[in-house]
Chains A and B, each alone.
Chain A
Amino acid sequence: MTVKFRRTCSILLAALLSVAMVGCSKADTSTTNTSSVKLNDPAWKEAMTTPFGAYPETVTYSVGQMATKFTLLAGSPYAKDNATNNVWTRYFKDKLNVQNTSKFEANDGKDYNQKVSMAIVSGEIPDIMVVPDYSTLQQLYENDLIADLTDAYKNSTSDRIKEIYDSYGGRVLDSAKFDGKLMALPTTEISHGPGILWLRKDWMDKLGLQEPKTMDDIEHIIKEFVEKDPGGNGAGKTVGLVVDNENVAGISGGQYTFNNIFALYGAFPKQWMDDGKGNAVYGSIQPEMKPALTKLSDMYKKGLIDRQFAVRTGDDRKALLTSGKSGSFIDNWWGSWIVADSLKLNKDAKWVSYVAPQSEDGSVTMFTGNPSSSYLVVRKGFEHPELAAKIVSLQYDYQRYEEKDEATLKEFSDYSALNVSGSPIVINIDYYDAFYRNVGIMKHALETGDPSELKSNNDISAYHSYKSYLDSVKSGKAPDPNAWAGYTASITTASLVEKSNIKEVNPVFFGSTASMALKWPTLSKMELEMYLKIITGDQTPDDFDKFVDTWKKTGGDLITKEVNEALAAK
């Protein structure tokens, strides 16, 4: 027995050790010599040092794939397409002579992030992948797992991509630089514009209400909605402003938020702001918060905010709006997509967007978001680090602006009509002001019926769908809700934003610090409780001072110090 036991033990130990060894073995990081050989060959050299040159032989690369719902293609000619054979991969093959394989696939978000961690743990990261946050990027750099893309960026990104990055004034590219080396191609987060107030225009018309500008206007309109019940919900059954319970404010481009109302009072909750003296301060504890909270709690008391907003789920919020129980919410420019269904349920429903509430000078202030939240990296040792730059150039420049082949473009537009992406690399690189950048040209084209001025292929295909929407409106037909949503978001609201007086403030810090891991969940919990308790009247606005006090003592001051140190070290 004991002999047996001992033997078992030693087998176990051996197995244990072998696994532990594997655990510490690293990915092959030896630089390949073949690449320098290939550089002597002009055809290879051309491919490896230009944005759009094709490789003489097919180059295979593995990626971490964000899952695409190819099932949406069912019934189309592309029904058999998959992650390695779809409109994008065929395009890449055709133009660059490259073929992807997927190392792993997962839904964007938590699942994808987990796969990335698993790939890092097992020492086998894909040749090219998107990492979801800065700390993972940092980890990969510190452990020498990713390639330096400085040269690849210089040689193999197109001029337009460089111009796009420049539209962020260095904020984006710098975030991926370590010791002067560019270690990733960062995603760009385009401006989401200010918060947009969406109201039921048919209700306003019924009640003879004017377009809102100030906070008072808004309160008046919602009060009329709630009291006079223009939607016929029954007395007392119409719900006020629909708002998120966990993100009452503080998400750039957030849904169902109070961002605009806070901004009206100069408050920028959840943002690290410059206090004007060069120090970073946390927006949620600034004195400007108090009057904003006072206002909101007053609105809640009057029934102008959904009485049950604290417990609603995302589905519930959408349902309140599409079912006609509520006729108001503050969202972003594409809020029309949220309420598109209400047109199906009620022919008379009409939603209109406003940039409101405006301050006395007619302006609306917005805070900008984290300019880059995810990063495209290349595995160290991959023979063609420039491929990442080439794919990005092809995907976000050439295909959008230069491609003229009708058949190819039709495939792409079929895909987007079905809301399928398919690209092995899902990031976005676009101009900072992308959503309203070309709206003037687009409107002009729609008026004249001549799309020749339009710059990008996306715009051209959008032009046709807007055109058919406008035609259907003209002929008095009920518009397709999706066509309506697209037009209302990208044309009506975008041009509204373009015309409006928008002021931007830039938060100064988006990362995390050492103490945050320990204290931040508690602090943000306190903060969320504070919003809800004060707004719903559980606490008075005066309790805000107590919150600030506790926040500082519970680690807020320490974290503020760390944030300032981190900024100073940059």
Chain B
Amino acid sequence: MKNKKDQTAFHLMLAPGMIFLIIFSFIPMFGIVMAFQNYVPAKGISGSSWVGLDNFKFMLQIPDSKQIFANTIIIALWKIVVGTIVSIVFALLLNEIRVRFAKRFMQTVVYLPNFLSWAILATVVMNIFSYEGPVNAFLGWFGIDPVLFMASNTWFRPMLILTDVWKGFGYGSIIYLASLTAIDPGLYEAASMDGANRFKKLWYVTLPGLMPTILLVTTLNLPNVLNAGFDQIFNLYNPLVYQTADIIDTYVYRVGLVERQYSLGTAVGLLRSVVGIILILSANKLAQKLTDYRIF
């Protein structure tokens, strides 16, 4: 009896959210069929011609599709991995500090770059990595010849990853800082009693305490492996580094300049979704198997 009342409450709670999802997510999903069409706006979905898998074949037929897919995945993966690590490290370092004002100040400052657009940051990045910039000046002290990082296929990707991580780590660390507060102080006390030093406490108390959040955030980030950050690359790249920096989105953008391609865009989106769902479900399974922690 009681349980039935609970069930009703749960359904009722979910109802409004579900209604919104049906209206704004599930109904528009019929648009996915555009991926199998040659969609022409004036004709609409019902009037546009069906082309089967042509849009997907197109992606593979693109003369340098391999390079573009590889670039996308490599850049995105590095960003996810390095970004997560740096966010965690920053949160942990900040957690060691007990001067409250400094803590809040630093926390706030590092979260701000996330809100500056790449169009603005492009000039800053360009100046930092130019021949006259501080990076080359620094290398100059060690007698290293100046490098034009932004024009080098060796350095461009690391530079993309570095600047992206720099922009986002402060914002990314918020969630870890929040979870740190949820760790039971009793555990630290117990560890101290056992004579654990600072590092040991970090290793045996803090990190395990953060683990669920780390797993959770990483899993939620996984679908991004086909999304390497259009705005950043579009604002920073140049033809000399197309080889290592041209990604799916920049390519689709340039295709769009030739002919507006809604169908191709939808096909890319669908591919991304399929890859995303495979990854996210496997990650969930894996997490459950390895750590007994279920995300969904």
Contacts and interface: CB of A to CB of B under 8 A. Distances in A.
A and B touch in the complex (CB under 8 A): yes
B151 A310 contact: yes
A528 B242 contact: yes
Interface stretch (B43-51, B84-92, B97-105, B225-233): B43-51
Interface stretch (A49-57, A355-363, A395-403, A529-537): A529-537
Q: Which of A120, A315, A517, A521 has the most CB of B within 10 A?
A: A521
A512 B30 CA distance: 30
Contacts of B261: 517
Contacts of B44: 23-26, 121, 123
Contacts of B238: 245-246, 310-311, 532
Contacts of A308: 130-131, 148, 151
Nearest to B262: A117
B122 to A, nearest CB: 5
B42 interface: yes
A288 B70 CA distance: 36
Interface string A97-132: 000000000000000010001001101000000000
Contact of B45 (A12, A24, A520): A24
Interface in A125-155: 135-136, 139-140, 142-143, 145
Interface in B251-288: 251, 254-255, 257-262
A519 B61 CA distance: 9
Interface in A332-364: none
B139 interface: no
Contacts of A23: 44-46
Interface in B89-121: none
Contacts, number: 122
A521 B254 contact: yes
A317 B251 CA distance: 25
Nearest to A132: B260
Main secondary structure of the interface of A (DSSP, over half): helix
Contact of B122 (A313, A519, A521): A313
Interface of A: 12, 15-16, 19-20, 23-26, 113, 117, 120-121, 123, 135-136, 139-140, 142-143, 145, 237, 245-246, 307-308, 310-313, 315-316, 512, 516-522, 524-525, 528-529, 531-533, 536, 538, 554-555
19 contacts: A15-B22, A26-B44, A117-B260, A117-B262, A143-B42, A245-B238, A310-B150, A310-B238, A311-B148, A313-B123, A316-B123, A316-B126, A521-B62, A521-B251, A525-B64, A528-B239, A528-B242, A531-B239, A536-B240
Interface of B: 22-23, 26-28, 30, 40-47, 58, 61-64, 122-123, 126, 130-132, 148, 150-151, 235, 238-240, 242-243, 246, 251, 254-255, 257-262
Given A123-B44, A143-B40, A246-B238, 5 more contacts: A24-B45, A135-B260, A143-B43, A310-B240, A524-B254
